[in-house]
Structure 1
Amino acid sequence: MAESGQRVDKWLFFARVVKSRSLAQKLVQSGGVRVNRDKIDSAARLVRPGDTLTISLKSGIRILTIRDPGVRRGPASEAAGLFEDITPPPPKPDDTPAGQETGYQPSERPPNKRERRRLDRLRGDGYG
């Protein structure tokens, strides 16, 4: 099996990058996976040991080098042996005091509903 390769959706599932194979297919078809810097849109693309996958997830971007094709979705310790994570560490936060760059000063009371909605809109995690 190592000679011919393995489907990328199957490998993502075996390596526990995604929870199900159908989610792996959707991730690949949406353009969230690159193999050796080439954007792919087919979940049937074959990957081999030595290939580098760049995966765009909600939690961030992961860069994985395939060590071994999987044969099953086993425990996390077994899945960790399938790849080498070469994702660079996130940048360290600046040592600036809180509120200096945004002008926000924390108050002694929790925010009310109006203030929470404003904060959500500012952060971009609100609905409107």
Structure 2
Amino acid sequence: MSDPGSSIRLDKWLWQARFCKSRTIAAALIADGAIRVNSARVTKPATTIKAGDGLSFFHGGRVRVIRVLALGERRGPAPEARLLYFELEDTAATRDA
């Protein structure tokens, strides 16, 4: 899906991974300081991320902690978008409880 060592804008990745319906919504979320990349709060939508980075944010009524697995080439269907990240176990267990 992506070259090792390459990067992508955070707002674009959130849109491709289907966490946000549009890049504008993703950019607003980031500008509000609601996203953390590797435990550091970011406020610029142009912040770059790469495979292996950790993201944490409030989404769908709960805190999501995910690991970026791939950057993606396009905004594809939901099953394809789920391959871009891995949700850490503790947040998945909290969600299911």
Normalising by structure 2, report the TM-score. 0.87
- Structure number with the higher strand fraction is 2
Bigger RCO of structures 1 and 2 (CA < 8 A, at least 6 apart): 2
Alpha carbons of structure 1 residues 79 and 52: separation in structure 2 relative to 1, 3 Å: same
Larger proportion of helix: 2
> Number of aligned pairs?
93
Matches within 5 A, 1:1-128: 2=3, 3-86=5-88, 87-90=91-94
Which of 1 and 2 has greater Rg? 1
Unaligned runs of 5+ in 1: 94-128
Cα RMSD for the two superposed structures: 1.9
Alpha carbons of 1:37 and 1:16: their partners in 2 closer, same or farther (altered >3 Å)? same
CA distance in 2, matches of 1:16, 1:42: 19
Summarize the Cα distance change of 1:92–1:12 in structure 2 as closer, same or farther, 3 Å threshold.
closer
Structure 1: distance between partners of 2:11 and 2:34 = 12
In 2, distance between residues paired with 1:21 and 1:7?
10
- Kindly report structure 1 stretches of 4+ aligned residues shifted beyond 4 Å: none
Q: Describe the superposition over 1:73-102 as per-residue Cα deviations: whole angstroms up to 9, x where unpaired.
A: 100000000000112422887xxxxxxxxx
Any gaps of 5 or more consecutive residues in structure 2? none
Q: Equivalent pairs: percent with the same residue?
A: 34
1:58 deviates by: 4.9
